[in-house]
Amino acid sequence: MEPVSLQDFVCALDLASLPRVLRVCSGVYFQGSIYEISGNECCLSTGDLIKVTQVRLQKVVCENPGTGQTMEITPSFCGHFSPLTGPQSYATLEELLSAATRRSKKLPIGFMSTHRITTEARVVPRDQPLLLEDVEAYHRTYRARCVLDTETRPFILHLPLSQKGPFWEWEPGAPRPLLQALQDPALSDRLFTCPTLPWRSLILRPQYELQAIMHLRRTIVKIPSTLEVDVEDVTASSQHIHFIQPLLLSEALARGGPFPLPTEILEVPEGPPVFLSPWIGSLQKGQKLCIHGLASPPWRVLVSTKGRKVPRHFLISGAYQGKLRRRPREFLTAYDLLGALRPGQPLRVVATKDCEGEGIDSPGFASLAVGDRLEVLRCGQAHGAKGQDIDVLVCQRLSDQAKEEEEEYAEIEDEDQILLPLYFSSSFVEEMSDNRRYNLEDLTAQFPLPCEVKVVAKDSSLPVDPLPSFPGLRLEDKITEPFLVVSLDSNPDMCFEIPPRWLDLTVAETEGQPGQPAGPLAVATVEELTEAFYYTLRQLPDFENQPPPPRPPKSQGLRGQKKQSGKDKSRQVPIYRTPLLPKPKMKTLPQIAKDSSNTYSKVSAHRKDPRHTKSVTKDPGESLSAHSPLSLLLPCLLCSCLYL
C-alpha cells in the first residue's frame, strides 16, 4: 500500500476491518485537544507504529465551493443530503438536457431548481427534487415530462425546455442522512445539497478522531484525522508485533478484571518504602506477578505495639484468624476518658497517680490517690472560679465495700460525685474483668476503637505470626481501602496484598497462563509498616476529623502574681525562711505482678469510709513546727557542719 494522508486513510477505511496497524512515513509534532486538557504532548516520528482501535466522527465542515465559506455541523445533524453530479449549474432545461446527452447519459435525469417554479397545475418549491422522464412534442414545441414526488402520490408536470433555472443535476434516489452520505465510497468527492442549509451546493469534509495504542504508552493516544502526516497500512505484515501497554495497579483495580492477570513490572514508584515485609524487596523491574483479584474483606486495622520504648506498627487484615483478649485501657487525661465513654456501657477506672488538684479552678474537684476507683457518668459544665463555664467530666467515686454497704450509704452518693475538667492530667487505667477470646471481626464490631488487646492465639495460616510476642497491642482505627491479592510468578504460594493507593506499580500484561498455587491462596494478613507510612495513615481524613483536646485555662502569670503580692504586702509578716529538709520518698504504687495485663484489676484502693471523699496522708516533715526552737537551730547546725 502506498503512503497516503491520514485524512484519506480514514475516509476510505472500512470500520469493520478495525484494528489496523499503521506505520508513520513522515513524522510530525502535534498537540491534540486531549493533551491540551491534561498537559501532555505526543510526537509521532517516522517509523513509529500505531494500532488504530477505534474511529469516531467529531464534526463535519461544510464548504461552499463558490465562495469558500465554511460552517460546522455535528454528527447528530438531522438534515438529509442529495448528491449532485457536478459542480456546474444550468440556466435552462435545454442546457441540462444537452449536457446529459453529450455525456451519453440516459433518461431519467434528476434535477432541482434554486428558484420556485410556477405552473398552471401547481407551484414547485425551490430545491425540490424533480425527475425528467421524457421529452414530448406539444403544439410544434418540445416540453419536458417531469415527475414530482409528493407525500400522497407522484405528480406529473410538463415544463417547457426554455424554462429558466438555474438547475442542478442530482443523482436519482432518496436523500440520505449525514452518516450514510459520508460512508458511501462512491460519493466521497461529490457535491451535495441540503434543503435545511443556506447554500445550494456544498462539500462535506468530515473530521475524525483516531484512538490508537502506541508501544510503551500507558494511555490511549487520540489523534485528529486532520494531522498532516502520511501513513502506510502494514496490518498484514505486523501480526507478530505485540504492543506493550503499561497498566497501573489502580487501573487494573478500576477495570475489575479479568483475573487472574499475569503481568510484569515496568516501573516501581519512587519514595520511601511502605511495608517492612520480605516480599517488598522482590518488587523490581522485570519481576513477573500474578494479580488474583480484590482482597476480601476490604477493611484493615491499624495497630501499634505497647510495652516497648520504640513502638512498631502493623496493618492487620480483617481476615486475621488469631484470637485476642482485651486489656485494660490507659488514659492520661479526663478528655481521654470522655472519648472512651459510650452510652449504655459503664466505664470504670482506677487512678494510678496521686493528684492533689493544685491550680485547678473547679469547686467540685477532690484530690485523687493511687487506687481510687471512679465510674465515669457523663459530660457536663461547671461554673469556674473566674466566672466562666468549663467542660467537666462527672464521675462517681466508688467504694471497695460490699454492695450492702453501698446501699446503706445510698443517701450520700451525691456527695461522692467529683468533677474533672477535661484538661485535667492524671493517669487512669480501665477496670475490667473480661477473659473472653475474640476474633478481630467480633472485637471491632462490639467495642469502639481505640482499644488495647493481647494476642493469645496466633493465626495458624501464617508461617510466622509476630503479634503474640508483644505484651500488648493498641488497635487504633479501622481503615477501609481496596487491596489487590498478588503473588510472585517464581513463587505462586507466596501471596500478599498491595494497596494501589499507596503502592501503584506500573505493569504490563504478559501472555501465557500464570503459575497456579498448589492449594488455596495463603495470604499474609499481617504487614509491618514503616514509621513514615504509619504517619501517612495518621493523616487520613478519619484521623483529621478527631478534635484536639481542650486547652487548660491561662494562669495569671508572673505579672499577675506581683500585683497580687503588692496588694497583700501590708498584711504579710516577715519571717525567716529556713531550708526544708528533704522529704522521704513514699511508695504509693503496689508491687507489680509478673503478668502486667491484669495488674490494674488487682490494685487495692485506700480503705476509707465512704462518708469521706479525701484521704490525707501525713507528711513526716510536718512533725517539726516552723516556730519550734529545734527548727530555728537546724540551719545553724548545718552551716557549722559545712564550715568544719
Picking from 499, 517, 543, the residue at the C-terminal end of a domain is: 543
For residues 420 and 565, the model is more confident at 420
- pLDDT 10s digits, 150-162: 767 888 898 999 8
- Both 217 and 285 in one domain: the answer is no
What is the C-alpha to C-alpha distance for residues 375 and 395, in angstroms, rounded to an integer?
5
Burial letters for 93-111: b for 16+ Cβ neighbours within 10 Å, e otherwise? bbbbbebbeeeeeeeebbb
Lowest mean pLDDT among 65-79, 104-118, 277-291, 412-426: 412-426
> Does 93 reside within a domain?
yes
Residue 220: which domain range? 4-77+205-237
Picking from 543, 564, 596, the residue at the C-terminal end of a domain is: 543
> Does 629 reside within a domain?
no
What is the C-alpha to C-alpha distance for residues 275 and 503, in angstroms, rounded to an integer?
10
Lowest mean pLDDT among 166-180, 331-345, 574-588: 574-588
Q: Give the pLDDT of residue 322.
A: 92
Residue 597 has pLDDT above 70, yes or no: no
Highest mean predicted confidence (pLDDT) among 183-197, 228-242, 460-474, 590-604: 460-474
Q: Are 352 and 331 in contact (CB under 8 A)?
A: no
What is the C-alpha to C-alpha distance for residues 453 and 222, in angstroms, rounded to an integer?
55
Over residues 169-174, the mean pLDDT reads 72
Reading the block at residue 464, the C-alpha cell is 510466622
- Both 351 and 364 in one domain: the answer is yes
| CATH code of the domain containing 390 | 2.30.30.40
> Does 143 reside within a domain?
yes
Residue 408 has pLDDT above 50, yes or no: no
- Both 351 and 490 in one domain: the answer is no
- pLDDT 10s digits, 50-73: 889 999 999 999 998 878 899 999
Residue 112 has pLDDT above 60, yes or no: yes
- Both 88 and 182 in one domain: the answer is yes
> Does 131 reside within a domain?
yes
- Both 334 and 422 in one domain: the answer is yes
Label residue 344 exposed, middle or buried (CB < 10 Å: 0-12, 13-18, 19+): exposed
Q: Are 147 and 155 in contact (CB under 8 A)?
A: yes
- pTM for the predicted model, two decimal places: 0.56
- Both 96 and 60 in one domain: the answer is no
Q: Give the pLDDT of residue 360.
A: 53
pLDDT level of residue 518 (50, 70, 90 thresholds) = low
> Does 170 reside within a domain?
yes
What is the C-alpha to C-alpha distance for residues 466 and 470, in angstroms, rounded to an integer?
8
Task: Name which of 357, 368, 374, 364 is nearest 423 in CA terms.
Answer: 357
Q: Are 88 and 102 in contact (CB under 8 A)?
A: no
Q: Distance from CA of residue 574 to its chain's centroid?
A: 71
- Both 356 and 385 in one domain: the answer is yes
Total domain count for the chain? 4
pLDDT level of residue 623 (50, 70, 90 thresholds) = very low
Alpha helix locations (H) across 505-616? 531-538, 541-544, 557-567
Picking from 543, 561, 585, the residue at the C-terminal end of a domain is: 543
- Both 139 and 152 in one domain: the answer is yes
> Does 407 reside within a domain?
no
What is the C-alpha to C-alpha distance for residues 494 and 518, in angstroms, rounded to an integer?
11
For residues 389 and 101, the model is more confident at 101
> Does 528 reside within a domain?
yes
Torsion sign across C-alpha atoms 311, 497, 540, 323: negative
Label residue 420 exposed, middle or buried (CB < 10 Å: 0-12, 13-18, 19+): buried
- Both 228 and 91 in one domain: the answer is no
Lowest mean pLDDT among 22-31, 170-179, 241-250, 345-354: 22-31
Beta strands 42-44; 4-5: pairing state? unpaired
Beta strands 323-327; 451-457: pairing state? antiparallel
- Both 211 and 70 in one domain: the answer is yes
Q: Give the pLDDT of residue 473.
A: 92
For residues 120 and 410, the model is more confident at 120
- Both 261 and 223 in one domain: the answer is no
Q: Where are any strands of DSSP class E within 125-220? A: 130-138, 141-148, 155-160, 164-170, 176-177, 191-193, 203-214
Over residues 97-123, the mean pLDDT reads 84
Q: Give the pLDDT of residue 386.
A: 65
Q: Give the pLDDT of residue 543.
A: 59
Task: Name which of 126, 130, 102 is nearest 116 in CA terms.
Answer: 126
- Both 70 and 25 in one domain: the answer is yes
Label residue 265 exposed, middle or buried (CB < 10 Å: 0-12, 13-18, 19+): middle
Looking at the chain, the whole-number percentage of residues with pLDDT higher than 90 is 20
Q: Give the pLDDT of residue 612.
A: 39
> Does 514 reside within a domain?
yes
